[in-house]
């Protein structure tokens, strides 16, 4: 069934593409409507205007329907009423049937707090919520859902490559991204995969 509203949420620019970019590309190719919410512009890791431009370039390549920025402070995102109310506004607007967000099991406080806030904002919604992994996800991450991204993996890489300002970061190395996708793919007997914890599964 196509035509779903799909929402991907990241604490910073590039989180979404790293965590679930291949899966989102499959949604776009399936004629689903894909939306981004970026909680902060990641200004601690570069000029925020440049990072916004890179996000928009990656989103265009991904064929995202719209991108929303919460403009929360980098490294200081809280799981509080402010964050939840901002998310509430877009949840009501988009009415997503599927949500992708960070795992709760993440060493980065922004990642864990935006994940908690998304769960709070989804409290009255009937949607499925999948939790993706990033380089700061803890060893306690326990995926139970896998997405075969073999056919769209090169597209995922091209989207990640839009974040030129982050090229000096170890986690942006192509070998690291390929290695994780291969490892997750090996689990399921495919070339490349993305893995998710499931916070909630609705209508299966």
- Give the number of residues written for the chain: 204
CA pseudo-torsion sign 85, 35, 132, 2 = positive
Task: Note whether 147 and 8 are within 8 A (CB).
Answer: no
Mention the CATH class of domain 5-199.
alpha beta
Write the pLDDT tens digit of every residue in 32-87: 999 999 999 999 888 999 999 999 999 999 999 999 999 999 999 999 999 999 99
pLDDT per residue as tens digits for the range 121-146: 999 999 999 999 999 999 999 999 99
Instruction: Give mean pLDDT, residues 184-195.
Output: 98
* pTM of the full structure: 0.96
| Neighbour count for residue 28 (Cβ, 10 Å) | 17
pLDDT in tens, 80-119: 999 999 999 999 999 999 999 999 999 999 999 999 999 9
| Mean pLDDT confidence for 171-196 | 96
Q: Residue 200 in contact with residue 128, Cβ under 8 Å?
A: yes
Beta bridge partners of 171: none
pLDDT score recorded for residue 2? 59
- Separation CA 85–CA 95 (nearest Å): 15
pLDDT at 5: 97
pLDDT computed for residue 93 by the predictor = 96
Backbone angles phi, psi at 80, to 5 degrees: -145, -175
End-to-end CA distance of the chain: 12
pLDDT for residue 1 is more than 60: no
Task: Count the neighbouring beta carbons within 10 Å of the beta carbon of residue 105.
Answer: 18
DSSP H or E run through 131: strand 128-132
């Amino acid at each position: 069934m196509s035509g779903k509203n799909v929402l991907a949420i990241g604490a910073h620019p590039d989180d979404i593409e790293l965590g679930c970019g291949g899966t989102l590309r499959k949604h776009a190719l399936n004629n689903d409507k894909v939306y981004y919410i970026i909680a902060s512009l990641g200004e601690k890791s570069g000029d925020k205007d440049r990072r916004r431009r890179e996000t928009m370039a990656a989103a265009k390549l991904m064929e995202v329907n719209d991108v929303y920025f919460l403009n929360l402070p980098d490294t200081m995102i809280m799981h509080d009423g402010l964050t939840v109310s901002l998310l509430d506004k877009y949840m009501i607007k988009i009415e997503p049937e599927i949500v992708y967000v960070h795992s709760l099991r993440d060493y980065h406080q922004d990642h864990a707090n935006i994940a908690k806030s998304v769960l709070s904002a989804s409290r009255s919604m009937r949607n499925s919520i999948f939790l993706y992994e990033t380089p700061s996800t803890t060893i306690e991450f326990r995926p139970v859902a896998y997405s075969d991204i073999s056919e769209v993996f090169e597209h995922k890489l091209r989207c990640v490559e839009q974040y030129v300002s982050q090229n000096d970061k170890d986690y942006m190395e192509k070998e690291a991204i390929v290695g994780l996708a291969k490892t997750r793919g090996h689990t399921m007997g495919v070339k490349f995969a993305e893995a998710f914890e499931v916070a909630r599964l609705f209508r299966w």
